[in-house]
Amino acid sequence: MNSELLQQVRVIDPVSGTDQIADVLIADGYIKAVETQISANPAETSVRDCRGLVLGPGLVDLYSHSGEPGFEERETLVTLVSAGAAGGFTRLTILPDTLPAIDNAAGLAYLQQSTIHNPKSKIQFWGALTLGVQGQQMTELAELAAAGVVGFADGKPISNLALLRRTLEYLQPLGKPVALSACDRHLSTNGVMREGAASIRFGLPGNPAIAETSALAALLEVVESTGTKVHIMRVSTGRSVKLIQDAKARGLPITASTTWMHLLLNAEDVGSYDPSLRLEPPLGNPSDQAALIEGVRSGVLDAIAIDHTPYTYEEKTVAFAEAPAGAIGLELALPLLWHALVESGDWSSLELWRVLSTRPAQCLQQKPAAIAAGQLAEIILFDPQLTWTVERQNLKSLSLNTPWLGQQLQGRVVQNWSHG
């Protein structure tokens, strides 16, 4: 028997709501026991002293980007999964804006076959809502559903509300998750950061909050009309949080998420002009950041997404306003969020783990991982005190586009069990 005993580890399990010190026995890919103290024969079992370490369910990322196919110099599926595993993510959900886009069953089958043998993370794919993710014509949604997409998302706003309405009506009987983002491109124009006092000071074109909120209000009207369940991606403004709260209070079938960087940073941080802070949607103003943090904690926003978006050094090393939007994050999110929210005392460890693991799985209509006897060992071991530097040799991702490059972080995943 291939068995391991983790002694006196801090077990965080949002499913049961427990945060306790316990011994955990793992054998043949399953959790065999979680008890105050477990005796084991060292000749048959690998015993590890885990005092000071945290054992939690594997993290689940709702949406991120792959370079492959089309942009393998940014990220391959192999490096993407390696980065996810290093960051504690046992389930990764990839957006369809690859080249070619994931808008047909044949392309999906190729990607599924390419990732089938990876033991560290379960990689799953969003199917495109529209051909080429161009927002003009519906894909063969039923065909993609039958081929095994986790759900449907373009990862880009769909401005044609008539098309969106027809698409949601068609999708309803398929019963798959649908993820939509909200932005009115006519209002955002050439804005590269959130409009406000900071954008004026920094001399950068502003993207007004109304570009998101007006599109969100229209999207919510379509959801109310069709009754199709929808996940709202990339919420970035305080007003959007209020619109979602009101919609949920009216009984609309919606869930919502923001990204990890929108919780940690705001428009004031753009003063460094680091191109890795050029995001879509842009970082909110300080009041937006506060509303997002409270929105996630209160449950108005269901989950935190990573939206890992790799770019090469050459693509990102340009003027801020000319940089493509996005940053990597799979290996950085847990330690930075833990330090900012849990160690500060603002959130409990259970609150953070819930929105990185349990709730994202539920948004995908999947059973969340749990730490209990008989459960599959989809778990990670996290050392909150381990220090490391964000640099090439310490990252699994091919790309380095992060504002934390060169900085020392505290906290890192030291082991990952997954049989996805």
Nearest residue to 66 (alpha-carbon basis) of 113, 102, 103: 102
| Residue 124 domain flag | yes
- Terminal C-alpha separation, the chain: 21
| Residue 294 domain flag | yes
Predicted TM-score of the model (pTM): 0.97
| Residue 387 domain flag | no
The DSSP bridge pattern shows strands 122-127 and 89-94 to be parallel
> Which residues have a catalytic role annotated?
307
Lowest average pLDDT, out of 76-85, 92-101, 110-119, goes to 110-119
Could you read off the pLDDT of 322-360 as tens digits, one per residue? 999 999 999 999 999 999 999 999 999 999 999 999 999
| Over residues 100-121, mean pLDDT | 84
Q: Position 210: which residue type?
A: I
CATH of the domain at 307: 3.20.20.140
Q: Is the pLDDT confidence value at 119 over 70?
A: no
Q: State the DSSP code for 129.
A: S
Structural domain boundaries enclosing 111: 58-363
For helices 210-226 and 161-171, give the axis angle rounded to 10 degrees: 40
| Residue 87 domain flag | yes
Name residues whose C-beta falls within 8 Å of residue 312's C-beta, 6 or more positions apart in sequence: 73, 74, 399
| Residue 249 domain flag | yes
Q: Is the pLDDT confidence value at 94 over 90?
A: yes
Q: Is 215 exposed, middle or buried (0-12, 13-18, 19+ CB in 10 A)?
A: buried
Could you read off the pLDDT of 294-319 as tens digits, one per residue? 999 999 999 999 999 999 999 999 99
Q: Is the pLDDT confidence value at 420 over 50?
A: no
Nearest residue to 180 (alpha-carbon basis) of 225, 132, 220, 125: 220
Q: Position 185: which residue type?
A: R
| Residue 383 domain flag | no
Q: Is the pLDDT confidence value at 1 over 90?
A: no
DSSP 15-37: TTTEEEEEEEEEETTEEEEEES-
Could you read off the pLDDT of 247-290 as tens digits, one per residue? 999 999 999 999 999 999 999 999 999 999 999 999 999 999 99
Assign 42 a pLDDT band (cuts: 50, 70, 90).
Answer: confident
Average pLDDT value over all residues in the chain: 96
Question: What is the total count of domains within the chain?
Answer: 1
Nearest residue to 129 (alpha-carbon basis) of 99, 162, 164, 105: 164
Q: Is the pLDDT confidence value at 116 over 70?
A: no
Nearest residue to 386 (alpha-carbon basis) of 415, 417, 366, 364: 415
